[in-house]
């Protein structure tokens, strides 16, 4: 394509939102006018389904649930007065609680104010809050935030060690819809033990964000925790950043949550437009569909050229992959859909995997996130007429050109600045793009049967471990690995038994005799 044609294509496929100052450039994606025309009926259906979803239709048929995350920033659209009141009241509760914490009206038993936040969650209950904290937390926040988002004992110890001298002034948020999800439950129990060891009253420093009537809700209320905030079954974890899940930790850090909500609401309005060229989320969905032939054949590489947005690719991994990665479509047909997402940040990745992106397998499309404002205030010149921000911009534009020279697809999203309003808009843009793309490929974007299958398999493994330990308590001396498996009723799971006893031995809970690399010759006994 000659320069004049390329310039014309750029103008044809450059979207600009005047109110937000946001640009979306899909001109370097490989699609034709014929592709757009062929997809028109699918987009008509997608727009109609999205309208029905926002109107309160059962958009998650497998779980027979409404999907209402768009109401979180526009409660007037909620289909009932009760749902509207839930959204409005939750925001008010968050703001009142945060004001009381910041002023010291709500304070820890041994100090006038809380200094830190410890957020315990997993998946959507942690990825969104972590992304927003990294992107928007002020330089000198009223409270510092820390996260426990895994069941890794060393990771938990590291966080609690960082908080050791300030544990008495730390506000603990436990975020779990059911209260029974192992990772947040384990983290909460570990933190409670640390509080007891330090002679502190956990309940007087604890807050729950959970489903009404859940196991966690009952515990929090029976023990007299400081507060509970709701999680609704019509909001999925990966789209919960604008619920109490994300608003509470953000507000406690001094982040302007009303600005986030406003940015999301403005983007929602822009992405309801049914003219494809005027709808940025539809343009993203179009690009993803054509690039991957409607089958997710190309990965999504996300490169934000701003340090504060470095966790965006990690946040998108769940939003995109959990929503779109499905074995069956809505008609029950096996389709094995999905789009793999990975990335880090620019220009760091120009010294890492951009080498392969340009010269290796063309099995991806890249999304470059550009932020026009370098910093607040002027920048020094590193070289004549060049600041460090100019270099960063040059790296982005250079990467875009280098990839285009090799026929690699790129999308560029440009924000005027990375403030709360724009981060809210960015999240909303991708939430809608995922929803529209799901309609194009006819999958349920709002359930996660694969995740549930993993949870069930993990629970079965833990149940087997209990049986193994019970058999070892009853054994007189050592027992062969094979016999142990048979006695526990797991003769057909000998590999899993081997891995369980290996882990128990490494943590000093049982003893293994024999060559570790030859499982058939091992004997196991209690210490």
Q: What does the alpha-carbon distance between residue 157 and residue 206 come to, in Å, rounded to a whole number?
A: 19
Strand partners, 146: 118
Cα separations in angstroms, 503 against 102, 254, 436, 488, 499:
44, 43, 44, 17, 6
**Ramachandran angles phi, psi of 492, nearest 5°:** -90, 5
List the alpha helices (DSSP H) in 171-243: 182-197, 215-223
**Ramachandran angles phi, psi of 311, nearest 5°:** -90, 5
Residue 523 and residue 514 in contact, taking contact as beta carbons nearer than 8 Å? yes
Q: What does the alpha-carbon distance between residue 138 and residue 282 come to, in Å, rounded to a whole number?
A: 33
Residue 435 and residue 284 in contact, taking contact as beta carbons nearer than 8 Å? no
Taking the CA atoms of 300, 306, 310 and 314 in sequence, report the sign of the dihedral they define: negative
Catalytic residue among 84, 102, 328, 455: 455
**Ramachandran angles phi, psi of 520, nearest 5°:** -65, -20
**Element at 367 (helix H, strand E):** strand 364-371
Q: Confirm whether 455 is a catalytic residue.
A: yes
Closest CA to 106 of 90, 117, 121: 117
Closest CA to 520 of 471, 492, 483: 483
Residue 281 and residue 432 in contact, taking contact as beta carbons nearer than 8 Å? yes
**Ramachandran angles phi, psi of 146, nearest 5°:** -135, 150
Burial class of residue 287 in the structure, from the number of CB atoms within 10 Å of its CB (0-12 exposed, 13-18 middle, 19+ buried): buried
Catalytic residue among 76, 351, 376, 405: 351
Q: Confirm whether 431 is a catalytic residue.
A: no
Catalytic residue among 322, 326, 370, 421: 322
Strand partners, 299: 364
Q: Confirm whether 262 is a catalytic residue.
A: no
**Ramachandran angles phi, psi of 17, nearest 5°:** -105, 110
Residue 186 and residue 151 in contact, taking contact as beta carbons nearer than 8 Å? yes
3-state secondary structure of 523: strand
3-state secondary structure of 253: coil
**Element at 120 (helix H, strand E):** strand 116-120
Sort residue 343 into left (φ over 0), alpha (ψ -120 to 50) or beta.
Answer: left
Asked if residue 347 has a cis previous peptide bond (ω within 30° of 0), the answer is yes
Residue 376 and residue 420 in contact, taking contact as beta carbons nearer than 8 Å? no
Residue 324 and residue 436 in contact, taking contact as beta carbons nearer than 8 Å? no
Closest CA to 238 of 448, 426, 425: 448
What are the residue numbers of the active site? 322, 351, 455
């Amino acid at each position: 394509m000659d320069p004049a044609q390329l310039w014309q294509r750029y103008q044809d496929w450059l979207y600009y939102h005047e109110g937000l100052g946001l640009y979306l450039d899909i001109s370097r994606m490989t699609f034709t006018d014929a592709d757009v025309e062929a997809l028109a009926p699918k987009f008509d259906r997608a727009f109609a389904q999205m309208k029905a979803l926002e109107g309160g239709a059962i958009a998650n048929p497998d779980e027979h649930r409404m999907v209402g995350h768009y109401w979180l920033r526009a409660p007037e659209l909620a289909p009932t007065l009760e749902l509207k009141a839930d959204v409005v009241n939750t925001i008010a509760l968050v703001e009142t609680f945060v004001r009381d914490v910041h002023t010291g009206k709500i304070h820890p038993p041994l100090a006038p104010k809380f200094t830190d936040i410890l957020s315990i969650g997993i998946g959507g209950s942690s990825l969104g809050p972590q992304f927003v904290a990294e992107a928007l937390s002020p330089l000198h926040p009223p409270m510092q935030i820390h996260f426990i988002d895994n069941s890794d004992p060393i990771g938990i110890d590291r966080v609690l060690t960082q908080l050791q001298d300030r544990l008495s002034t730390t506000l603990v948020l436990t975020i779990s819809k059911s209260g029974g999800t192992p990772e947040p439950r384990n983290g909460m129990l570990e933190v409670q033990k640390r509080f007891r060891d330090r002679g502190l009253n956990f309940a007087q420093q604890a807050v729950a964000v959970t489903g009404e009537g859940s196991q966690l809700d009952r515990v929090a209320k029976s023990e007299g925790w400081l507060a509970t905030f709701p999680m609704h079954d019509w909001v999925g974890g990966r789209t919960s950043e604008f619920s109490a899940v994300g608003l509470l930790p953000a507000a406690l850090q001094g982040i302007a949550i009303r600005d986030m909500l406003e940015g999301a609401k403005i983007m929602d309005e822009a992405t309801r437009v049914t003219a494809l060229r005027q709808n940025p989320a539809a343009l993203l969905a179009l690009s993803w569909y054509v690039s991957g032939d409607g089958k997710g054949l190309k990965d999504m590489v996300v490169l934000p050229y701003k340090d504060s947005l470095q966790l965006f690719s990690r946040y998108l991994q769940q939003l995109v992959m959990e929503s779109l990665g499905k074995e069956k479509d809505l008609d029950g047909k096996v389709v094995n859909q999905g789009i793999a997402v990975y990335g880090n940040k620019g220009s760091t990745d120009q010294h890492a995997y951009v080498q392969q992106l340009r010269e290796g397998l063309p099995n991806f499309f890249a999304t470059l996130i550009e932020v026009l404002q370098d910093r607040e205030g002027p920048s020094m010149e590193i070289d004549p007429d060049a600041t460090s921000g100019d270099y960063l911009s040059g790296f982005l534009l250079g990467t875009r050109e280098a990839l285009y020279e090799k026929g690699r697809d790129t999308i560029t999203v440009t924000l005027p600045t990375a403030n709360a309003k724009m981060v809210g808009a960015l999240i909303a843009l991708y939430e809608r793009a995922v929803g529209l793309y799901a309609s194009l490929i006819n999958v349920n974007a709002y359930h996660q049967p694969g995740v549930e299958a993993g949870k069930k398999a993990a629970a079965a493994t833990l149940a087997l471990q209990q049986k193994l330990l019970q058999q070892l308590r009853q054994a007189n001396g050592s027992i062969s690995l094979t016999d142990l498996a048979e006695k526990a009723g797991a003769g057909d799971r000998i590999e899993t038994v081997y891995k369980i006893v290996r882990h128990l031995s490494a943590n000093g809970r049982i003893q293994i005799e024999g060559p570790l690399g030859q499982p058939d010759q091992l004997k196991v006994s209690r210490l």
